[in-house]
Each structure stands twice: as structure tokens, then as C-alpha cells.
Structure 1
């Protein structure tokens, strides 16, 4: 049986006196990938955007999609790094990603799919994963690959989880409540 794969996306809030970085990973058995892709495509429906994205959704849409994701009954691993100063989110991302890799390895994951960004930023992710392997048992295989959000509906699950965690951190807990039983959250310092 193949190990589960994780699909990651982020949300962050920069602030001169704090801020935070949320990196969420949906841990999904390969046997459910096709099913969950179809569900997420159905949830997106006829939206103009090529992908489902947390921010443009209205309040009710966010509540509905969070409930659908919670019904998947799959594990979501989330690292929350703080503080995040303006223009320092990449450092926070690297630290959150390194910790996420260690946590995912502990959950039996050996492949992380992250939403593709610019080539140099994707390379930073690869370097962060390479660095994280120093904290894993010798000989551990763990890889990261990048896919565009418009091409991979499983990334939308992580976007929803990251959005719900960010909403909770900024005072809107209702979006996170349905997910509370399936999210393993790790808080960490991400000093600048």
C-alpha cells in the first residue's frame, strides 16, 4: 500500500508587531485522490476562477466548503509561525516548511505537493525540504514537488484549511470549528 501524500498551501498575516504564517497540509491517501478531486471540482462549480480559493468566497461559501472538507475525515497538519514582520514571510515559510516535513514524515508521508510559485521560490522550498531531512532518520526519502493550483484540486483543500486557521487567528473561529477534530496544529517561533 502506498503512503499518503500531503498537499500544502499557505496563508499569512504580516504585521510590524507580530503577524503569523500558516502552512497547512492535507494528508490524503492515494486511494482517495480521484474521489476528493471530484468533490473539490464540484464545490468550485461554475466560479469564474480556474481554482477554488478561500479569499473570494463569501461567509456562507466558506462555511459550506469547510464543512465539506471536514467531512473528508482526513488529517490536516498545520504549522503556524510567529512573528512575521513585513517582507519576511519567506523566512517564516522556510521554518514552517521544515517543521511540517518532520511532522508529515511522522504521519507516514514521503511526498509533499506544494502550490507552485515562481521558480526561485519553488527552489527555496526544495532547499528547505533538503534541510529538514537532517532532522529525519538517515536514508529517509522525502520529496517536494510543485503543481499549479489551477491544475490540482487537492491543493484547494489545504487552501481551505489554511484560510480557516488564519480566520481563527484573526478572530473568526466559526470557520475553523468544523475542522477542529482533524487538524494537528504546531505553533512555533519564526524570529526574524
Structure 2
């Protein structure tokens, strides 16, 4: 069984009136999930309850990227560059369409999305539309979980962060992860 953990990153590009929205999926075979979770639990700092890319210091990000590069995972990341007037929810919908299609095509059985609470309904609507159009497998199960409940989501958070930082000119973390990652472009301005 193939499982995908999914999280996002959105940030304004330095010195530009443009945004980058990334949606990262980390694919793990079911028999490796416990090892991935255990490794990520071991990467928590101090009394932190989780690992979150945005709040980590640069030295910790180096450690996280190196550790993730050693895990039995592969990554698929959608990248949507868009103007400031394009809402991030539109960028997310476009990214979800591309990502769900890719995950379905790769035979992913279970997708675990980081929950955004009331905004999860929008994700479900995208998924329902794709299923009705037979664009994704009806057999692919999608759930929404809090990051605190599954350390697999922490890997997706770190990957999304590393890619968005790379697109903003700081590639030192992504360089370590690049061999594991497929990047999918998403048109954000049309």
C-alpha cells in the first residue's frame, strides 16, 4: 500500500509582486511508515510537539533536510507561481487538481492531507469533482489530519518549505532533497 502525506507552503517572493504556492506530497510504502514517523519524532527540538519548517532555525533546517534525504520516501511537489491578486485558494485548487491526478496515476492508495479545519471542505469539493470526471481513482482514499497527530505530515511540511525557499533563492536545503523530488508546474495566472 502506498501512502502520501500532503502539506502546503505559501510565501511572497522577495522583491516581487508575486507569490509562490507549493503543495508537497511525500510518498511512503506502508511498511516504512513507522520508521519514517519514528525518525521524524526523533528530530523534534527540545519540548517541541512537532517539526515545522517555518519556525526552525537555519542550522536545524540543514539537519532536517539531511535526515529526510535518508528516509525511504519520494516527493512530488506542485509549484504555482501567481500574481498577488490571485487568491491563494485558487492556487491551492489548481495545485490539488494536478497533485491528486499525479498521485492517482502513481497508484497511491491513501492520501493524508494536513487539515486546515473549515477549509478542508474546499479540498473535498475539488476531490469530488475529479472523481465525478473520472480524473482520479475512486479507490484512492483521502483523509484530513492535524499535523500533531501524524509525524508523516512533518516530512511534507519540510519538503514544501524547502522547495518554496529554493524558489525564493535559498537552495541549500532543496539541493539535498532534489534527487527525491519531482516538480510539477501549475499555471497560476490564467
Q: TM-score with structure 2 length normalisation? A: 0.91
SS at match of 1:102: helix
Which residue is equivalent to 1:41? 41
Give the aligned CA root-mean-square deviation in angstroms: 1.8
2:105 and 2:176 map into 1 onto residues whose CA distance is: 24
Which residue is equivalent to 1:55? 54
Query: Which aligned pairs between 1:69-84 and structure 2 lie closer than 5 A?
Result: 69-84=68-83
- Structure 1: segments with no counterpart, 5+ residues: none
Which residue is equivalent to 2:170? 172
2:52–2:158 CA contact under 8 A, matched in 1: yes
Indicate whether 1:26 and 2:26 are aligned.
yes
Measure how far apart 1:135 and its partner are: 5.1
1:4–1:109 CA contact under 8 A, matched in 2: yes
Give CA-to-partner distance per residue, 1:124-180, whole Å, 9 cap, x none: 11111222332526x632232111011110000000100100110111010101111
How many residues are matched?
A: 187
Q: TM-score with structure 1 length normalisation? A: 0.90
2:6–2:23 CA contact under 8 A, matched in 1: yes
2:83 and 2:181 map into 1 onto residues whose CA distance is: 22
Which residue is equivalent to 2:117? 118
Give CA-to-partner distance per residue, 1:94-144, whole Å, 9 cap, x none: 11011101111121103211111122x11111111222332526x632232
Using a 3 Å threshold, how does the CA distance of structure 1 residues 102 and 8 change in structure 2: closer, same or farther?
Answer: same
Q: Indicate the larger mover: 72-81 or 160-169.
A: 72-81
1:141 and 1:29 map into 2 onto residues whose CA distance is: 17
Using a 3 Å threshold, how does the CA distance of structure 1 residues 135 and 165 change in structure 2: closer, same or farther?
Answer: farther
1:92 and 1:172 map into 2 onto residues whose CA distance is: 22
2:6–2:26 CA contact under 8 A, matched in 1: yes
Q: Indicate the larger mover: 21-30 or 78-87.
A: 78-87
Indicate whether 1:161 and 2:159 are aligned.
yes
1:21–1:81 CA contact under 8 A, matched in 2: yes
SS at match of 2:52: coil
